[in-house]
Amino acid sequence: MPTTLASIKNTLDSQIGREIKLIAQAGRKKTTERKGILTETYPAIFVVELDQEENAVERVSYSYTDVLTHSVTLEFEEESAVVS
CATH of the domain at 59: 2.30.30.100
Domain tally, the chain = 1
Q: Tell me the pTM.
A: 0.81
Q: Return phi, psi of residue 18, to 5°.
A: -95, 155
Domain that includes residue 79, residue range: 5-83
Mind listing the pLDDT tens digit for each residue in 23-73? 999 888 899 998 999 999 999 999 999 987 777 789 999 999 999 999 999
